Structure formats: C-alpha cells, structure tokens
Amino acid sequence: MMARLIPGVCVPRLPRVCVGWAGRAARALTTVLSAAVLAVGALAVMPAPARAEDVITTQEYFSYYHLDTARAKGYTGKGVTIALFDGPVDTSAPELKGANVTDKSRCTIEASAATRSHGTSMASMLVSPTFGVAPDATLLTYQSSATEDISLGSCENIGGVRQNSISHLINQAIDDGAQIISLSQGSGATGDDIKWAIARAMNEGVIIVNSAGNAASDSNGGQLSRWSGVVGVAAITADGQRADYSSWGNGVTTAAFGGPVASRNYETGKIEETTGTSNSAALTSGMLALARQKWPDATANQLLQVVTKTALNPNHEWNQYTGYGAINGGALVNTDPSQYPDENPLAQKQGGSSPTVQEVQDYADGVVEPNPDTLSQSYVYRGLDEVAASMDDIGAVHLGTSPRYHRK
C-alpha cells in the first residue's frame, strides 16, 4: 500500500477539539519515511494506465474544510509557490491534469512504487484542480529518498555529499523561489548544514511544514519538526479527536485531518484509502498557501502567529499531541496578520530547539563563520575574520559590513 501505519503504543485520547472549515482533522500519508531517509531512485514500477473508474473525483477533507467555499471566494493559492520534498510525482495522473507542477530535482532516485504513490498523492492534495487545497499554486517538486526506494540513483553521494539531502533541498527550494516547503516524511538529520538551512529559511520568510509521524509515540527526535521555526503537524480524525496513530512531541505545532484520503497506489494499480500525518502536513501546507495568497504583505512570522493564535485548543494552549490545536483554515484567511508582531512564535520550542534565536540573528547579520560544507553558496560573510574569509569555495565575502556593527 502507498501509506502504511507504523505500529506504536496507543496513548489516551485528548478531549475533543473544535474544528472550523480550516480543519477537522489531518492525517498525512502513513508512509513514515525514516529521518535517516536513504536515497532513492527512479521509478521501479511504471504507473498503470488510469481507467475512467479509477479517477479520483472527491475527497472527504474537501467538504470537511469547506474548500468549495474557499474556491468560491477566490482562495486558490494563486501566485504562491510551494515546494514538495517527496517521492517522484507522476504528473500524468488524472488528478494532476491541468495543475502547475514542475520537477526541480537535480538528481533522480530509483524510486519504489510506494514512494511514487506517496509523492503523487501529496502533490494531488496540494494542487489537484479537482480536490487540491491550493489548485492555482505553483508546485515545485524535489525527489527525496526513503528506505523503501531501490537506490539513490544519480543522487548517490558525490564527494561525500548526497545531492538530495534535506539541507540541500531546503537551500535549492529557497533559491527557486518557494514560499512554503512541504515535507511529509521523517528526518533525523543533525548537523550544522541543516541548522543553517533552517536559519536561512526563517530569515527569508520561507515556512517549512513537516509531518509529526505515525508511530503513536514521541517521535520528536526523528522529525524535522523538532527544529526551530518548522511547523510540525499531527493528525486528527473526522470527529476532531487526535488520531491514535499520530506521533507527538515538542515539535508539534498544529494538527489536521489525517484521513481517509483516496490515493493512487502504483503497486496495485488501484485507488486506495490512506491515513497518516503526511496527509495532515500536505493539507496544512495548502492552507498556508491560501493564507499567503490572501495576505501577501504579511510576513511569514505573522502568518505563523495566526496559526498559533487561532488554532482550536481551548485558549490556544499548547500540548505535545496537537500543538496549539487543530488548524483553523477559515481563520487563516479571515484574520489580518498585521495585528501580530513580526516575531516567529516557533523560534524556540518547548524544551529548547535549534537554531537558537541568536544563531538565526547571526546568520542574518552574516557573522556565521563561512564553511562550504555547511552553508549555502548564497550566504554572504560580513564578519571581521580575514582568515575565515580566505577559505576556498565559500560564497561572497564583504568583510566588516555586517549590520551588527552599525546597529544602535
């Protein structure tokens, strides 16, 4: 199956949470890809030709979140660019006919049918003209790797560097103009490369969304959502309860519908139902695209303020199971973000997170010591260390020009 639940220990359910059109529940595809996510390669199983009866025409979440109303009001994600890190996307799938999808991958994995199913489903939930949350958004796709894949293909390590590592993909997506990055898989990546990629995203106003996982356990250490600034998304059911498969942890920010979602399965050639926090993350990314369209002058920090201050937990109080509560899509497009400060509410998560507020500021000021192994080529060093500035293969150097030295 395209999406698989990872067995785990069930935990007591939280009290019922209220939901608006923005979200009854979220459930991302249960293909919980390990954070160690090893590379993958080209498609192993060719997609079966779609028969008329195999075309997906409706989804439960579409009515759940009143997306027909959103479309009628012109909220379609037009003008917004979303990046999707996932398995290869089959753009010939009937659900994606007419969608604006471009593969920006710099290498090709040898993918399994399962990961192609997952990638195609996530893309369809985001931009399908029929049932996508943001059908008029531009979707840029990037092939990331999963344990189910056959091989890394051309993404194999070159000079010790994997060409589709999460840090590489974040930097590439920012370079390509993405405003929202949707990642429905695990990532236990550590190290300065991922830290500074996230710091760059936070500084440049790019929102990263990550699924919480489907292990029914504290999976914080294996998800990108443990990092500062990243929107971690848990899953809820159609009745507003936390889904029993949904993982939890200090990185969880919100929750969204987790399923069932009809998905094309390239292993069986059939349309099958899936559940999982992957679905939840894709839905959240789509709703953020609608908010970005409605409020083009708002900063990413202000949009995140709206997420946390309108989520549906009582008094918007945070907990490790649903974050601040189920996402409220209606509030995202109806609440003026300018009333909130330009401060990232996820800059420091419960228990502490990286990059720290100071590290994000250091990156913005250009005083992080340049290192070609951990920093994007777009980074401009503006510090005072002439020795560090003389390193090979680093980006631009403008010694002594950091705004920090001129700030009063």
Q: How far is CA 194 from the centre of its chain?
A: 15
In order of their start, the domains of the chain are 52-339 (3.40.50.200), 370-408 (no CATH)
3-state SS assignment for residue 406: coil
Q: Is 392 exposed, middle or buried (0-12, 13-18, 19+ CB in 10 A)?
A: exposed
Q: Rg of the chain over CA atoms, in angstroms? A: 20
| 368 vs 23: CA distance, rounded Å | 40
Tokens standing for residue 228: 């500062």
CA distance 238 to 259: 8
52 Cβ contact list (under 8 Å, min separation 6): none
Helices 277-294 & 113-127 angle (0-180, nearest 10) = 30
Tell me the whole-structure pTM to 2 decimals: 0.85
pLDDT by residue for the chain (408 residues), tens only, comes to 333 332 222 222 232 233 334 333 332 333 333 333 322 222 223 344 444 347 888 999 999 999 999 999 999 999 999 999 998 999 999 999 999 999 998 777 666 788 889 999 999 999 999 999 999 999 999 988 666 655 566 566 665 566 668 888 999 999 999 999 999 887 777 788 899 999 999 999 999 999 999 998 888 888 888 999 999 999 999 999 999 999 999 999 999 999 999 999 988 888 999 999 999 999 999 999 999 999 999 999 999 999 999 999 999 899 999 999 999 999 999 999 999 999 999 999 988 899 999 999 999 999 998 887 788 888 999 999 888 778 777 778 899 999 998 886
A 10 A CB-CB count for 37 gives 24
Spatial contact of 325 and 14, defined as CB atoms under 8 Å apart: no
Hunting for tokens 């990286």 — which residue is that?
354
The single-letter DSSP state of residue 346 is: T
CA dihedral (359, 362, 366, 371) in degrees, to 10, reads: -40
